[in-house]
Structure formats: C-alpha cells, structure tokens
Structure 1
Amino acid sequence: MSKTNPGNFFEDFQVGQVLRHATPRTVTAGDVALYTALYGSRFAVQSSDAFARALHYPQAPVDDMLVFHIVFGKTVPDISLNAVANLGYAGGRFLAPVYPGDTLSAVSEVIGVKENSNGKTGVVYVRSTGYKQDGTEVLDYVRWVMVRKRDPASPAPTPVTPVLPDAIEPDALGDACPLINSGAWDADLSGAPHRFDDYALDEKIDHVDGMTVEEAEHQLATRLYQNTAKVHFNQYTEGQGRFGRRLIYGGHVISLARALSFNGLGNAFHIAGINAGRHVAPLFAGDTVFAWSHVIEKATISGRDDVGALRLRMIATKDRPCSDFPLVDGEGRYDASVILDFDFWALIPR
C-alpha cells in the first residue's frame, strides 16, 4: 500500500462527508511579521499592541485574512490538491479574534457536488470551520472548487448544489471583535479620520495604489499558509496545463486588495463576514494589482454602539488603475482587467 497521499479527486467526495484536516498550526509573531512583509497591511488594530490595548483588546489580534489563509491551507491537501481552480466563497463568518500563540485547526464538510459537462472535472462545495486549541470556532465559510476526476469514464454523482445565503445578517457580525472603546480611537495613529457615518451608501472609492506581484513572494506566501495545491507551486505539472505556468493563489489577491484598501478605508479594521467572492480571472507573476470598493450597504449591530458595519464590494484588477471603477463592459460581462469580485462586511468605529 502506498504511504503517500495523491490527494482526493472528484470521485472521492460525497455529500455529508466530514474531513478533519492535518496539521494544527500555532500562529506566531513571526507569521504576523511575514504577512506584513508580503502585503504591507497597515490597519492599526492589527499592527500595534498599544493601539489595540487602548481599545480593550488584550493585544493586537492577528489579521483576519491571515487567519483565513491558515485555515484554508489546512484544507488544501484533502480538498483542492488536485484542483483546477478555486471558484468562489459564501456564507463566511469571523467568529472570534485570534492572537499570536493560538493554535488553529480545521474541519470541513462536503455539502455539494456537481460534475462538469466535459466529464473531466467537477465542482465540490465544502463548509470549512477553523478552531482554536480550546475548541472556540474562529471562522467558518463555504467555498467551491473545480477538481479533476481520476477517471473521466467514472459515472457522475447525483448533483447537489447547496442553497447559500445572499449575505450574512448584520447582527451575526458582532463576535468578530470584542466591545471596543471607540472613544479611544486615535485617528492620527490609525491614519484615517473617517468613521461609519462618513461613508455614504453607493459611494465608490478608488484605492489609488498598485502592487506588482512577484513570483518569489507568492511562493513564500503559499508556503506560509502550507497551501500545497499544485496549481500554485508546481511548475513541472502546470507547465503542461492550459496556462503553461503557475496561478497566483486567489487568496493572495484578496490580501493584496485588502491591503490596498487601507487608502480610503483605513479605519475599516475587521473583516467580519464574507458574503460572496469570485476569482474572475487568473493572476500571474509580473501583473500589477489595483483595487476599488463600492459601499453597497450600511448597518448597525444590535447591542453595539461602538462599531458599525459597511458592506463592501471590493474589485481587484490587473494592469489597470481603478479611477474609472472598471467592472463590466457594455455587454454586461466582466471587464477584461477584473480578477476579483469580493463582497464582505467590515467593522468600522462609530
């Protein structure tokens, strides 16, 4: 019997199947520093223990997307080692802060399967949950991924497509951060004066800056998250694929866009929920990422007068600045520059 793991193929997934993922990962201050080096994120709550403590955190929490990537990385060997592409996200909730020293683990449940018409691949839907060492849930989300079949001649399963929420309800967002002392929020130190009431419904914000992706940093990022998907790091296999080169991990794009969004949303300090997300087109090393955001909803949270929630549609583009807010062309298709369409809730002081 082989002692190596070839990863699961589409035929190996069944609705209701539960996968407990290896390997638990203790998050360290080194991980946080490396994440900052990769993306340059500047949100003050996650950058400064002193700033966070003034708001009543015990210390600076780990960046939400670093938590997401570590939990995501745990799932890859069981779910997407043989993926063609990760397609989208929905129903995501950040349920508790994570701090350096916490250990994260992950469990996933298969909630849907659907073979593609080509008979060579299929789409697998999973709900993944991340836990701290004491069993506290810190994150759960649904993603769907296109996975290769082991044998194209194998019969297609009965298709099951899960019903997913259009958006997380605002009152479900409060656990993302503790009750903060918003009166202690120092706009000079946070780098932005704008709070909840300063943002208007339907407002569009060009984040102005661009960031060019380098192959080395992407390789470092995928290893940081222990993401072993071949499509991201194995040029030998991907050189024989449809693009002839490795794809940049979609989560890398989310983190780049999130870091760029500081310019215009510098006080939107927590991602609290993921409503929907789609990787519209591939990104490759050498491309430059830009981003813009659209305020599509504003909400208060019951029992919370310290923070409000902005529902943001964040669009990332490659090799095109966002001063004219590119999204769709005249025929309703995504503009050729668009690589990410990400709908999420962010918490911001009131």
Structure 2
Amino acid sequence: MSQEQAMGGEGGAGGEENMAAWLMGIKNLQIQPYHLPPLGPHDVKVRVKTLGICGSDVHHFKTMRCASFIVKKPMVIGHECAGIIEEVGSKVKTLAVGERVALEPGISCRRCHLCKEGRYNLCPEMKFFGSPPTNGALANKVVHPAYLCYKLPDNVSLEEGAMCEPLSVGVHACRRANISTDTNVLIIGSGPIGLVTLLAARAFGAPRVIVVDVDEHRLSFAKRLGADEVVEVSTDMQLVGQELTQIKDTAGCNIHVTFDCVGYNKTISTALNATHPGGRVCLIGLASTEMTVPLMAGAAREIDVMGIFRYRNTWPLCIDLLRTGKIDVKPLITHRFGFTQGEVEQAFETSASGGKAIKVMFNL
C-alpha cells in the first residue's frame, strides 16, 4: 500500500522514474526518486496533477514536526491532491483509467471500534499522506486505495479537487458544531482553514458570520468571501477585554458558535468569552500542543467545547458543494508553482512566509 512507499528505485510503466519532493531536514526539500509498491487488487495508480500546501506541511518544513507528529527520517511531503487515474487494480470496478479524482489522504485500519463506529478519522493506526512516518503525495504518481479516490464532475477542476481536503476540515467542523440557519458564527483566524470554515458555515446556512484576525489583508479577503463583519485585533493580544467588547459590538448579535482556527491560549480564551451562554466552541487550530485556559468562563455559562481532528465522510459533500456552486474555492488559490527543485523550494518559502499567500498550489 501507499504508506509503505520508499525512497529509491523506479516507478511507472516502461521504467519511467517516479519523482517526489522529500523533506530531508529543516527547510530542506529535495526532488528524488520515489519507488511505488506493486498495485494491489483494490488500489489505483494516480498521476498527481495538483497539490496544495497545507499549514501542517509548513510546520513540518520549518520545524520537522506538527503538534505531536515528528519527522524522524526523510519523508515525501504533501496531502491535498487530485489527479488522473493511470492504472486500476484487478478488483477495482468503480473507477477507470483516465478518470479525474480527488484523493482522501488518510488510510484507516477499518477494523478498530472507532472505524466500525464511523469515526475513522480517530483511528489509532491511521496512515495519512505526509504525516510522519507516512510518505505524502507531492510526487508524479502515487498508489492509493480506490475507495479513497472520488470522481470529479466535469465542471469541477483538478485544483478544486485538491481543495476538497482543506474544505473538508471546514465541513467537518460545521457538522460537529451543528451549524444551521439559526446559528450565528464567530471565526477566529482567517488563514486558509478559517476561510474554508467561513465558506462552509455559509453553505450550512449560518445567517451571520464574523471573522477576527490580526492581519488586515486576510480580513479583507474574508470580507470578499462573504463575512458579514471583520474585526482586526492587536498582534500582542494584550487588549483582550477591549477586543471582546469590539467583537460583540461589531457582531450586533449573539454568537452561538465560535471556531478557533488558531489554537493559542488567548484565542481560546477569547472564544470562550465571546460565545453566548449555551453556545459552542469548536477547536480547529493546533498552534500550541499545551494550553492553559479559563475553562470556568465557559463552564459557568454552559459553553460546550469540542475538538475536531481532520474529517470523515466529507468528500462527496465537498464535491457536490463545488459542483453546484454553493462554495467557490477558486479565489483561495493565490499562488501556483510547477514541480521543479527551484519551484518546490520557492513554493514552500512563499507559503511559510505568510504575507499575501493564502493557498499555494502545485500544478505537476
């Protein structure tokens, strides 16, 4: 299976060498050969055509770790991808050579109690593209289980197919938080995940969405994507009391659900204090591995605090939201690069530097 792919050797028909972007060390990416395993009967071989850089990829690139996931040996990076099927296993009946697909990057065991309950995203044996020790998908070709490859409609591009992965985070969060037509939403953080959460909340019917960030450019982006109001807060977050008053005044309504798409002590504190009694706080961001927060501020007002980890059963809905035009992710793609050594390095530096980059996309 794809999680066992290893460095070296050749892959592809006729001895064509399969190349991938290997993370060798801090800020050290090298395009080198990537040997693919034999195609299993339930697998497909996909020529990767588009791949987006995720925040977790940037953490791995900058520090060789993301939260508790630590890169201990060279690893192919990347997981937000779509491509074209080049070969199918002998028992694959639902997909055919030449079809365009979006790939769900996590392979669960399908045997543990969490998988059997449908909560496969929490599987302790999950093998996830580009999450150590599993190799990722920034490569010419990958082998992946057919059941995790979803056909794209004619009016959904391969770039949009790759965007199903980050969009799935927003969709899963909105499902967990029960967003509906009577749910006013506050989103803390307007990076890529905050923005897809905004798009998902709108698609789920949220009547009012307010976005908070320290970055004026990203807030203007959120406004263009449909945020009702945006609030710029101080970079040191020392004026939380005043900022809370500003957020509540700007909202002009009760906040029923707050999504923390950052994950710092003070952003979670802000979320707990800004949310209306009886509301919900959904933790998406993973900036800190350990936090100290004033939970009594939420407990005394019966605030439900919930976490999300990746997503589950989201690709069909994401594809349908794109197909019907209920969500448009194309404006999020701000930078595009090819698949050469220089462009791979430049793409990751662009994404890591922040600035005006929202979603950096490779076109292989």
Query: Is the shorter-chain TM-score for this pair beyond 0.5, marking a shared fold?
Result: no
**When you count helix as a share of all residues, which structure comes out higher?**
2
TM-score relative to the length of structure 1? 0.24
Structure with the greater relative contact order (CA < 8 A, sep ≥ 6): 1 or 2?
Answer: 1
**When you count strand as a share of all residues, which structure comes out higher?**
1
